[in-house]
Chains A and B, each alone.
Chain A
């Protein structure tokens, strides 16, 4: 790979909706490293649409490496890369806590990207079983945020 190829690759990666991209230059050796959880190749192959659309998915606890979620729970995922906030401001109480029963349409958190505050709403009525991201930490595209057990 020459420098041109590398720049192309960097450009392509930069265009992907990911939070961080690291390029390390070490003598003649060039290493691309990506902050986040998934290897670059996997991310590139993932069609954006399939990750973007289902913010609410039934859990399939079969895949390797994915945490095993209770089979009756739904996972609320981040629709974008951004910063995860559990409260509207540092002084406010969190929108929800583990054990809370939330209504359909109730705000669960905010994902911020570029000063755009994206309110994530619960798409089911249910009980919050778990909160899977840390307050004020970056989250990836499609990353699980909440486990909700639907209630009728």
Chain B
């Protein structure tokens, strides 16, 4: 849907030639602007924090990709066709889910992505807050408009958690696992949370907003004390800082590909991967009412089957469970 902006083109050329000098003349020609206009665009990118160096009489160079989420950088890295193409970047907002819902109500298309550098009221289930410091992590919300019944919506939750886990495992080599229904854990600590909000009419979802908080570059010791024993980040687990825009672009690509499969009716594969990546099955869990039992399976609708210590089999479709061991 989008034609890439001039700034996105400039940045993509500089990233293709990372560490090299690209002459102003060549770049102006490839982008289709005058040298003067090019200079203005380069200045605009510099003002957004991209460390482009101008080398007199030679051209421009970018030595490394900055960890920014500005549209030209994200769109340069994005390979998906639809997911993330309509990109809303905010320096700060109360909650990306709230913004995305507003956009969806105003008719924003499927794949519209709202991203913020920081959230003042990032939230999880039942209004619990989500740690959202500026510039460290990813906080974003994606609009999806699936043609499914409200009863099939849990598929979208699985879709998001499988796609994100896939990226963390395949692209970053970290042992991410899914805790039912859709939290992502690494080595027993939470690295990402997913919160889906839906507005529906007559049992048909008008739209879904898939909100994700992913801890990327929070350093060791960087979490507040109340969550420090339960939370982790990709940096803590992988030992190095990562480019958030790249991870987000990979996630959009991964999600799009799983979503295409789902639209073709390939539900089984998604569940197969969910089971493969799951962290809950086979473990002792505690229900919200305090009962404990073994997580023994999930139903095609996504409910968790728990066999209590008393031998009762429960199908848990709502609420949350805590993994005891």
Residues of A within 8 A of B (CB): 10, 13-15, 17-25, 35, 48, 52-55, 79-83, 85, 87-92, 112-119, 121, 123, 138
Report if B227 contacts A (CB, 8 A).
no
Residues on B with C-beta less than 8 A from A48 are: 151
Closest residue of A by beta carbon distance from B312: A22
Q: Is B36 an interface residue (CB 8 A)?
A: no
* B318 interfacial contact with A, CB 8 Å: yes
From A14, A25, A35, A118, give the contact of B299 (CB < 8 A). Answer: A14
Binary CB contact string for chain B from 281 to 319 against chain A (1 if under 8 A, 0 otherwise): 000000000000000000111110100000111111111
Partner among B157, B312, B314 whose Cβ is within 8 Å of the Cβ of A115: B157
**Which positions 180-196 of chain B face chain A at CB distance < 8 Å?**
181-182, 194-196
Is the CB–CB distance between A19 and B315 below 8 Å?
yes
A114 engages B126 (CB within 8 Å): no
13 contacts between A and B (CB under 8 A): A10-B313, A14-B315, A17-B301, A18-B315, A20-B317, A21-B315, A81-B317, A90-B126, A112-B126, A114-B317, A114-B318, A116-B196, A118-B153
Q: Does B173 contact A (CB under 8 A)?
A: no
In the complex, chain A residues whose CB is within 8 Å of the CB of B108 = none
Cβ-defined partner of A25 (8 Å) among B126, B201, B208, B311: B311
Alpha-carbon distance between A90 and B126 when the two chains are bound, in angstroms:
7
Taken together as a complex, chains A and B put the C-alpha atoms of A115 and B123 apart, in Å, by 12
User: Which one of B123, B154, B314 lies within 8 Å of A114 (CB-CB)?
Assistant: B154
Most chain A CB atoms below 10 A, which of B194, B305, B318? B318
- Whether B125 is near chain A, meaning CB under 8 Å from some CB there, is yes
Candidates A18, A24, A89, A123; contact of B312 at CB < 8 Å: A24
Assembly CA distance A35 to B156 (angstroms): 27
Digitize B154-170: 1 where CB-to-A-CB distance is under 8 Å, 0 elsewhere: 10110000000000000
Contact across chains for B151 and A52 when beta carbons are under 8 A apart: yes
Q: Which of B205-232 contact A (CB under 8 A)?
A: 208
What 0/1 pattern do residues 66 to 97 of B give for CB contact below 8 A with A?
00000000000000000000000000000000
Q: Give the top 10 A-B pairs by smallest Cβ distance, nearest first.
A: A89-B127, A114-B181, A23-B313, A116-B196, A83-B318, A52-B203, A82-B318, A21-B315, A14-B299, A117-B197
Contact of A89 among B128, B317, B318 (CB under 8 A): B128
- Of A19, A35, A82, A113, most buried by chain B (CB within 10 Å of CB) is A113
Check B311–A115 contact: CB distance below 8 A. no
Closest chain-A Cβ to B34's Cβ sits at a distance in Å of 51
